[in-house]
Amino acid sequence: MPTSIYPYLAAVPVNLLPICSDCNFEKKDRVPTRYEEQTLHPYFDEVDDDRWLRARLITRSADGRVYRAKPLDSPAGWLIEFYVDPPTSWDARFAERVRFHFEIFKLAPLFEDQAADDLPGIELSIEEAFQAGGAPDVRAHLEGLARSRARLHKNSWMVALYEELAAHDWFCSGGFRQVAAG
């Protein structure tokens, strides 16, 4: 709860959470008016048991239309998009709360920036996998990266990214070169 509105809660242990300055700024003095507008509490809200963070690789034609690029295509543009995909076992109100948290803290653009920084760093290992065995080896390499990251944090942006890239035939068949080039 914002200390500017509830100063007496400033030192209550349950309200003392480490938060970066960017997130604290985004949170501002917002007070939820309904359950779905509450941000998640890292100690009380269980969101790590289920997969809910996903990514999609979007490719665009020269006229700007979204289409699913195929191997050997040269799309005019591409982007990685992160989104909340709650499991069907979740209560609808809780799913909305996770979406709200994701939006209020602007996690999609944050993860997209992190992915843009990460992809050039793994380009060499992807190229080596491609040279060794083509698209199947690229796919296996990316799936291995996703499994490795998921052991600690199944909702890591890296897990979502690597799973999506592994599932995309265009990316695994050489599209990774276009993505790595920017």
- CA of residue 156 relative to chain centroid, distance: 7
Q: Where are the beta strands (DSSP E) in the chain?
A: 53-60, 66-67, 77-84
- What three-state secondary structure class fits 57? strand
Global pTM exceeds 0.75:
yes
Is 106 within 8 Å of 136 (Cβ atoms)?
A: no
Residues 6+ apart with CB under 8 A from 158: 118, 145, 146, 149
Residue 157 host element (H or E):
helix 157-167
pLDDT band at 85 (very low <50, low <70, confident <90, very high): very high
∠ Cα 74 76 80 (to 5°): 95
Adjacent-strand bridge partners of 82? 55
- Contact in structure between 150 and 159 (CB atoms under 8 Å): yes
pLDDT, tens only, 51-72: 999 999 999 999 999 999 999 9
What are 90-116's pLDDT values in tens digits? 999 999 999 999 999 999 999 999 999
